[in-house]
């Protein structure tokens, strides 16, 4: 029987942050993940502490942002791979009114470091932006495939990854912990994202899936090396390839690409891009969102050794580093779990 402090189920951005936090606190762990592509793998990898629809800061951004920057900088060094590329976002203005709203927002204390007060003129003939751009600073592109593959390799090299789908019927709950196959642990943390709906221990009413779809396009004339935000993000992938999206759909929880989403992305993309392009791919994933747009952390009264880390929605890259620290401090140092993050609030 292998004894560890924790079992971590799931290896998206939530699981990775939990593993790193456990390492930091010198706790032993085993990770279980079958390798199927979840929301992290299928996301655009945009790291953005602002809400560009309303020109506001994301919830708790002043706390989440510095923790995330430190986390990704340190993890890049640890894995010896560049997956976190600081890149500004050029947000297309639709009107003079939007420019004025941006100016007001950029003067707010929580937004000064992110929203540049200087407007940029459009010099790219392939982009329609008559009113120019607002520049968002402190943003980045996370190369999710590089991060996920290198982190799996790291865990396998340390012999702490079970590369298989978790079999819930094999989990035994004991008075002082849990047992799974030949592994015993004090606690098990489920960081499964939207696939938690398949977990019989997870209270399914706490999570609301939100499907997002992206198109992959090839556009040799676009010549874009920053993030562009119109109705959708245009995310450079190199070699004239861009990821465009994502859509929002609360009625379809499958990860199958749809013609409806493709048509929506194409119709809106053609409004702010005027160069030829070719669609070369389409992806779909389900974001693990909640009704109140807050994360769900902690355990249930009847299963105290089963812990959940979920509900990160579309802000997982921003929130996961600090949230993982908060959760492990709750479990190890008996710090109080903030009520707005506690899974029990939704039951």
- Tell me the C-alpha distance between 74 and 95, whole Å: 40
Q: What pLDDT does residue 201 have?
A: 97
User: Would you call 22 exposed, middle or buried from its count of C-beta atoms within 10 A (0-12, 13-18, 19+)?
Assistant: buried
128 touches 179 (CB < 8 A): no
- Tell me the C-alpha distance between 18 and 31, whole Å: 10
Spell out the alpha helix ranges (H) of 229-335.
259-272, 316-333
Q: Which residues of 279-309 are buried (b: 16+ CB within 10 A; e: fewer)?
A: eeebbbbbbbbbeeebbbbbbeeeeebbbbb
Q: What pLDDT does residue 253 have?
A: 87
CATH topology for the 2-46+145-207+292-346 domain:
FAD/NAD(P)-binding domain (3.50.50)
Q: Is 337 helix (H, G, I), strand (E, B) or coil?
A: coil
Residue-range domain boundaries for the chain:
2-46+145-207+292-346, 89-137, 208-289
Identify the bridge partners of residue 284 per DSSP, sorted by sequence position: 213
- Tell me the C-alpha distance between 94 and 1, whole Å: 62
DSSP E strand boundaries for 60-127: 84-86, 89-92, 115-120
Among the four given CATH numbers 3.40.50.300, 3.30.9.10, 3.30.365.10, 3.30.2020.30, the one describing domain 208-289: 3.30.9.10
> What is each CA distance from 138 to 48, 65, 212, in whole angstroms?
8, 9, 24
Write phi, then psi, for 48 (nearest 5 degrees).
-145, 120
> What is each CA distance from 62 to 58, 112, 164, 173, in whole angstroms?
9, 11, 37, 39
151 touches 79 (CB < 8 A): yes
pLDDT along the chain (347 residues), means of 10: 97 98 98 93 96 95 97 98 98 98 96 97 98 98 97 98 98 95 98 96 94 98 97 97 96 92 98 98 96 96 96 96 98 96 95
How many CB atoms are located within 10 Å of the residue 166 CB? 20
Q: Do domains 2-46+145-207+292-346 and 208-289 have the same CATH topology?
A: no
């Amino acid at each position: 029987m292998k004894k560890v402090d924790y079992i971590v189920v799931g290896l998206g951005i939530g699981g990775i942050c939990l593993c790193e936090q456990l390492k930091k606190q010198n706790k032993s762990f085993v990770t279980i993940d079958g390798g199927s592509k979840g929301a992290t793998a299928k996301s655009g990898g945009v790291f953005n502490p602002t809400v560009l629809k309303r020109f506001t800061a994301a919830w708790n951004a002043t706390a989440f942002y510095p923790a995330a920057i430190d986390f990704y900088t340190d993890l890049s060094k640890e894995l010896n791979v560049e997956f976190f590329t600081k890149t500004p976002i050029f947000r297309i203005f639709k009107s003079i009114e939007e420019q004025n709203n941006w100016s007001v927002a950029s003067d707010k204390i929580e937004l000064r470091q992110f929203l540049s007060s200087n407007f940029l003129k459009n010099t790219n003939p392939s982009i329609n932006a008559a009113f120019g751009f607002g520049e968002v600073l402190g943003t980045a592109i996370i190369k999710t495939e590089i991060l996920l593959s290198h982190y799996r390799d790291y865990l396998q090299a340390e012999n702490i990854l079970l590369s298989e789908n978790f079999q819930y019927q094999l989990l035994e709950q004991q008075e002082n912990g849990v047992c799974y196959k030949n592994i015993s642990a004090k606690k098990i943390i489920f960081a499964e994202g939207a696939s938690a709906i398949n977990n019989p221990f997870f209270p399914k009413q706490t999570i609301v899936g939100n499907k997002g779809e992206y198109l992959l396009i090839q556009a040799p004339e676009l010549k874009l090396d920053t993030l562009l935000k119109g109705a959708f993000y245009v995310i450079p992938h190199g070699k004239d390839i861009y990821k465009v999206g994502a859509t929002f759909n609360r009625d379809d929880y499958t990860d199958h690409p749809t013609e409806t989403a493709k048509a929506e992305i194409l119709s809106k993309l053609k409004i702010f891009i005027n160069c030829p392009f070719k669609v070369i791919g389409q992806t779909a994933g389900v974001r693990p969102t909640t009704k109140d747009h807050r994360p769900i952390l902690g355990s249930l009264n009847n299963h105290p050794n089963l812990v959940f880390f979920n509900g990160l929605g579309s802000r997982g890259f921003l929130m996961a580093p600090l949230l993982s620290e908060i959760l492990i401090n709750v479990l190890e140092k008996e710090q109080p779990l903030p009520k707005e993050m506690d899974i029990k609030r939704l039951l």
